[in-house]
Amino acid sequence: MDKYVVLKKSDFNGFIKSLSKTQKVMAPVAKGNNNYAFEEVSSGEEISISHIPTILPPKKYFMPQRETILAFSKKEHEWKPILEKEPLVVFGIHTCDLEGIQLLNKVFTTPPQDTNYINRMNDITTIGLECNDYCDEYASCCVMNNHLPNSGYDLFFTELSNDFMVHILTEKGEKITGGTPLFSEAQSAHHKALEQLRSKKKELFKDEVVVQNNELKELFARTVHSAVWEDIQNRCVACGNCTNVCPTCYCFDIKDDINLDLNTGVRIRSWDSCQNETFAKVAGGENFREERGSRQRHRYMRKFNYSIGKFNKYFCTGCGRCSRTCMAKINLKETINSLAGEKK
pLDDT, one tens digit per residue, over 112-135 is 999 999 999 999 999 999 999 988
Nearest CA among 281, 277, 299 for reference residue 229: 299
Q: Are residues 19 and 148 in the same domain?
A: yes
Instruction: Name the strands in the sheet holding 88-93, side by side, starting at the edge strand that comes first in the sequence.
Output: 35-41, 24-32, 88-93, 124-129, 155-159, 163-168, 3-8, 183-185
Q: Are residues 240 and 158 in the same domain?
A: no
Q: Looking at residue 76, what is its pLDDT? A: 87
Q: Are residues 136 and 175 in the same domain?
A: yes
Phi-psi region of 276 (alpha: psi -120 to 50; beta: other; left: phi over 0): beta
Confidence of residue 342 (pLDDT cuts 50, 70, 90): confident
Nearest CA among 62, 68, 54 for reference residue 125: 62
Q: Looking at residue 251, what is its pLDDT? A: 96
Q: Looking at residue 273, what is its pLDDT? A: 96
Confidence of residue 177 (pLDDT cuts 50, 70, 90): very high
Q: Determine, yes or no, domain membership for 260.
A: no
Pairing relationship of beta strands 78-81 and 3-8 according to DSSP bridges: unpaired
Cα 181 to Cα 5: distance, rounded to the nearest angstrom = 11
Instruction: Check whether 203 has a pLDDT greater than 90.
Output: no
Q: Are residues 138 and 192 in the same domain?
A: yes
Q: Looking at residue 343, what is its pLDDT? A: 53
- Average pLDDT on 2-29 reads 96
Q: Please check whether residue 184 is in contact with residue 166, taking contact to mean a CB–CB distance below 8 angstroms.
A: no
Domain that holds residue 49: 3-66+84-204
Instruction: Check whether 4 has a pLDDT greater than 90.
Output: yes
Q: Determine, yes or no, domain membership for 259.
A: no
Q: Please check whether residue 155 is in contact with residue 128, taking contact to mean a CB–CB distance below 8 angstroms.
A: yes
Q: Looking at residue 182, what is its pLDDT? A: 97
- Average pLDDT on 232-252 reads 96
Q: Are residues 132 and 234 in the same domain?
A: no
Q: Looking at residue 173, what is its pLDDT? A: 96
Mean pLDDT over the full length of the chain = 95
Q: What angle do CA 225, 230, 236 make, to 5 degrees?
A: 130
Longest dimension (CA), the chain: 69
| Cβ-based neighbours of 1, under 8 Å, separated by 6 or more | 168, 169, 170, 171, 173, 174
End-to-end CA distance of the chain: 47
Q: Determine, yes or no, domain membership for 152.
A: yes
Pairing relationship of beta strands 88-93 and 24-32 according to DSSP bridges: parallel
Confidence of residue 217 (pLDDT cuts 50, 70, 90): very high
Nearest CA among 303, 245, 301, 315 for reference residue 100: 315
Q: Looking at residue 207, what is its pLDDT? A: 78
- Average pLDDT on 231-255 reads 96
Which DSSP string do the residues of 210-254 spell out, in sequence order? SS-GGGHHHHHHHTTT-THHHHHHHH-----HHHHS-SS---EEE
Q: Determine, yes or no, domain membership for 186.
A: yes
Out of 144, 169, 204, a domain closes at 204
Q: Determine, yes or no, domain membership for 264.
A: no
Q: Determine, yes or no, domain membership for 261.
A: no
Q: Are residues 133 and 218 in the same domain?
A: no
Q: Are residues 28 and 139 in the same domain?
A: yes
Cα 177 to Cα 84: distance, rounded to the nearest angstrom = 28
Q: Looking at residue 202, what is its pLDDT? A: 87
Q: Are residues 32 and 139 in the same domain?
A: yes
Out of 204, 221, 241, a domain closes at 204
Q: Determine, yes or no, domain membership for 337.
A: yes
Q: Are residues 243 and 299 in the same domain?
A: yes
| Residue 76: half-sphere exposure toward Cβ, Cα within 13 Å | 8
Q: How many domains does the chain have?
A: 2
Out of 187, 204, 221, a domain closes at 204
Q: Are residues 294 and 188 in the same domain?
A: no
| Cβ-based neighbours of 309, under 8 Å, separated by 6 or more | none
Instruction: Check whether 298 has a pLDDT greater than 70.
Output: yes
- Average pLDDT on 203-230 reads 92
Cα 224 to Cα 143: distance, rounded to the nearest angstrom = 21
Q: Are residues 88 and 200 in the same domain?
A: yes
Q: Looking at residue 285, what is its pLDDT? A: 87
Q: Determine, yes or no, domain membership for 227.
A: yes
Q: Looking at residue 209, what is its pLDDT? A: 92
Q: Three-state SS for 209? A: coil
Cα 243 to Cα 271: distance, rounded to the nearest angstrom = 9
Q: Are residues 165 and 220 in the same domain?
A: no
- Average pLDDT on 300-325 reads 96
Q: Looking at residue 75, what is its pLDDT? A: 87
